[in-house]
Amino acid sequence: MNNTNENKKHEFNFFIALLPLVLMITAMGVAVVWLGQDPHIPLIFGTVCAAAVALFHGYKWDDIEKMMFKGIRLALPAIVIIMLVGLIIGSWIGGGIVATMIYYGLALISPALFLVTIVILCAIVSLSIGSSWSTMATVGVAGMGIGMSMGIPPAMIAGAVISGSYFGDKMSPMSDTTNLAAGLTNTDLFVHIKHMFYTTIPGLTIALIAFFFLGRQFGGEGAASQTEITDMMAALEENFVISPWLLLVPVVMILCIILFKMPAIPALVVGIVLGFLCHLFVQGGDLGAAVGALQSGYVIETNNQMINDLFNNGGLQGMMFTVSMTIVAMTFAGILEYSGMLKSIMEQIIKVAKGTFGIVTATIVAAFTTNATCSEQYISIVVPSRMFLRTYIEKNLHSKNLSRSLEDGGTLTSVFIPWNTCGVYIYGVLGVAAWDYAPYAILNFTVPVIALILAATGIGIHKITDEEKDAFIKKYYSEEENKDLMSPV
C-alpha cells in the first residue's frame, strides 16, 4: 500500500511535466537570441525549475541529486571524447596535418564542387569508422578551412560536413547509435541497416543535389579568386612544412578503427600521439610548444588573417565550453528522465498515435522531444525504444520499422538542438552554432520528412504476420508481459 501511494505521489500531470522544458526554452530564447549570451545559464535555470517540480511532487533533495549525477554519468563517455578531440585538433594543427589537408584540398578541389565533395568525403570516412564526431573533428575541421579559404560561408560548409558525417554514422555497422537502435529493438543489425536505405539514400541524394546547386555560386564571379587561393597556399607553405606524408596520420587512425577494430578513444589517442610527434619532428616545434598546443591550443600570428582565424584553435581548454555545457545539460536531463517527467510527456505522445502513420510520427516526435529535453542522442534512442516496441508489435509492425524511426528521429535531429551534446560538440569543433547551420544540414532534416511520407503511403513499411508476432512475443517477453501484449488494443 505504501509503495502504491509513493508511486502516485511521484506521478506527473502532462502539463506540469512539460513546465520545466517550456521555462527552459523560454529562458534560452531570452538569453541566447535577445541578450546574445551563452546557453549555460538558461540550462541551469531549467535544472532549478525541474528540481522544484520534483520537490513539489514528493522527491527528496538527495533523490534529485542522484538524478543529476546519473544524468552526468550518461554523458561521461562523450565528455572524454570531447576532451580528446580538443587534443587531436591541437596536435594536428601543430603537426601541420590540418595545414597539409587544407593545402591539397585547395589545390585539387574546385570551389564549385567543394560542398558536394566534402559531403561525399565525410560520408565515406564516417561510414568507414562509424563515428560522425571523429569525422567532423578531422575531415570536418580541414573542410572548414578549405571552404572558408574559397569564400564559402561557414554555416554552409558545416551543413555539408554534418550531412556527410551523419550519413556514414547512421549507415555504418560500426556506429554505436546504429548498434544501439538495432539492439534495443531486437532487430538484426544488417536488417536494420538495409531498412534504413528507404529513407537515408533519398535523403543523401537530395542533399547532394542541393549542395551541387548551392556550390555553383562559388565557381564564378563573386567567389574567392584564384589569387586569393594562391596567397592562402603560399601562407600555408610559409608557416608549416607541407608534405603528403603527413596525410598518413589520418589514414593510420582510420585503419586502426577499420582493420584492428580499435574503439574510438584508443584510436583518437593514436592520432594525438602521431600529431604530437609531427609537431616535434616534422614542424620542428619545441617540446613546450607541442605540450602547449595540447593544453591551450595552437597559437600562431601571421599577416594572413584567415590563417590566424583557422589555426588558433584546439587544445583541452578550448573544449571546456563544450564540456561544461554538456554537464549542465545532463543535470537537467537527469531530473526529467529519472523523476518520471519525461515518461509523462512520452505517454501523451503515444496516446495520439493511430495507425502506422501515427505510430511512426509519434516515434520521430518522441525521439526529437527526448533530444530537446534530455540533451543526449543516446537517450533519444533508448527511451522511445522502451516506450514504443510493444506498440509496434501489437500493430503487427516489424521491429525494424521502429529501429529505423529511432535513427530518423533521434540520431539525425540531435544536431538541431543547441544544448544537446551533439549540437554543443559541433559548435566546439566546427565553430558554427546550430541555428546557423540548421538550414544547411540538409540530410538531417530531409530524412525525417521522407520517413513520414513513407509511413503515410505504406512504402518501405514491413508488417509481420500473427505467427511472427507470436514468435517475437514468446522470444522476448515474459509470460506476464505477454498477457498485456496479447490483450485487445
Taking only the tens place, the pLDDT of each residue in 343-365 is 888 788 878 777 899 999 999 99
307: left (phi over 0), alpha (psi -120 to 50) or beta: alpha
- Average pLDDT in the chain: 87
Give the amino acid at 119.
V
Taking only the tens place, the pLDDT of each residue in 399-440 is 999 999 999 999 999 999 998 889 989 999 999 999 999 999
Cell numbers placing 457: 503511403
Give me the long-range contacts of 414-418 (CB less than 8 A, separation at least 24).
Answer: 414/371, 414/377, 414/380, 415/162, 415/166, 415/441, 415/444, 416/371, 416/441, 416/444, 416/445, 417/371, 417/372, 417/375, 418/28, 418/32, 418/39
Contact yes or no for 296/93 (Cβ under 8 A): no
Does pLDDT of 167 surpass 80? yes
Taking only the tens place, the pLDDT of each residue in 18-32 is 999 899 888 888 887
Q: How far apart are CA 143 and CA 155, in angstroms?
A: 12
How many residues comprise the chain?
489
Predicted local distance difference test score (pLDDT) of residue 4: 41
Helix (H), strand (E) at residue 214: helix 189-215
Using DSSP, state whether 276 is helix, strand or coil: helix
Q: How far apart are CA 476 and CA 489, in angstroms?
A: 20
396-431: burial string, b at 16+ Cβ within 10 Å, e else = ebbbbbbbbbbbbbbbbbbbbbbbbbbbbbbbbbbb
Find, among 399, 393, 433, the residue nearest to 415 by Cα: 433
Least confident of 41-55, 90-104, 212-226, 330-344: 212-226
Q: What whole-number percentage of the chain has pLDDT above 70?
A: 93
Q: How far apart are CA 462 and CA 464, in angstroms?
A: 7
Using DSSP, state whether 431 is helix, strand or coil: coil
Cell numbers placing 70: 546519473
Taking only the tens place, the pLDDT of each residue in 51-66 is 999 999 999 999 999 9
Predicted local distance difference test score (pLDDT) of residue 321: 85
- Model confidence band, residue 477 (pLDDT cutoffs 50, 70, 90): low
Greater pLDDT, 8 or 139: 139
Find, among 3, 195, 232, 222, the residue nearest to 102 by Cα: 232
Q: Which residues pair with 67 in a beta bridge?
A: none
* pTM recorded for the entire structure: 0.80
Find, among 419, 460, 464, 418, the residue nearest to 203 by Cα: 460
Give me the long-range contacts of 315-321 (CB less than 8 A, separation at least 24).
Answer: 315/86, 315/87, 315/89, 315/90, 316/83, 316/86, 316/87, 316/90, 317/86, 318/86, 318/89, 318/90, 318/428, 319/82, 319/83, 319/85, 319/86, 319/428, 321/38, 321/428
> Average pLDDT, stretch 39-49?
91
Q: How far apart are CA 50 and CA 43, in angstroms?
A: 10
Angle at 331 between CA 329 and CA 332, to 5 degrees: 65
Taking only the tens place, the pLDDT of each residue in 374-389 is 777 888 887 788 778 8
Taking only the tens place, the pLDDT of each residue in 241-279 is 999 999 999 899 888 877 888 887 898 899 999 999 999
The DSSP secondary-structure symbol of 220 reads S
| CA–centroid distance for 338 within its chain | 23
> Average pLDDT, stretch 204-215?
96
